[in-house]
Amino acid sequence: MDTDYLLPDDCTTMAEVRRGVDATDRELMALLDRRFGYMRAAARIKTDRTVVRDEARKAEVIANARSDAGKRGLPADKIEQMWELLVETSIGYELIEWDRIRA
């Protein structure tokens, strides 16, 4: 984990802010890598391709993100949009992986 940055409230220069943003982006990428790893696991575990898309689960994940954003004082509408794209991208990735595993 990159610790060569200050927390937001401790920043006093734009260079410090930018270092923190760049470090956070790297951390987000590592988290996305892990999340997509779970999509690979799901593709491996699910025996039926038709169950890859689960609209109830999709709605639950997006609602959870929206709720969490609201509790944190983040822009819930925009976070919801981001999660919609994240979940749809994850579903597409899982379908590709499902097909690749069984090719």
Q: What CATH number did the domain enclosing 40 receive?
A: 1.20.59.10
- What separation in angstroms does the CA of 76 have from each of 52, 83, 91? 26, 10, 22
- In total, how many domains does the chain have? 1
Query: pLDDT digit string (tens) for 14-59?
Result: 999 999 999 999 999 999 999 999 999 999 999 999 999 999 999 9
Tell me phi and psi for residue 74, to 5 degrees: -95, 160
Annotated binding residue 46: yes
User: Which of these, 101, 96, 94, 102, lies nearest to 57 by C-alpha position?
Assistant: 94
20 close to 6: Cβ distance less than 8 angstroms: yes
Q: Would residue 3 count as lying in a domain?
A: no
Does residue 2 belong to any structural domain of this protein? no
C-alpha to C-alpha distance for 40 and 23, rounded to whole angstroms: 26
Annotated binding residue 44: no
CA 99 to CA 83: how far, in whole Å? 24
Give me the domain span that covers residue 62: 8-101
18 assigned binding-site residue: yes
Report pLDDT digits (tens) over 49-86. Answer: 999 999 999 999 999 999 999 999 999 999 999 999 99
Alpha carbons 45 and 83: distance in angstroms, whole number: 23
Q: How much is the pTM?
A: 0.92
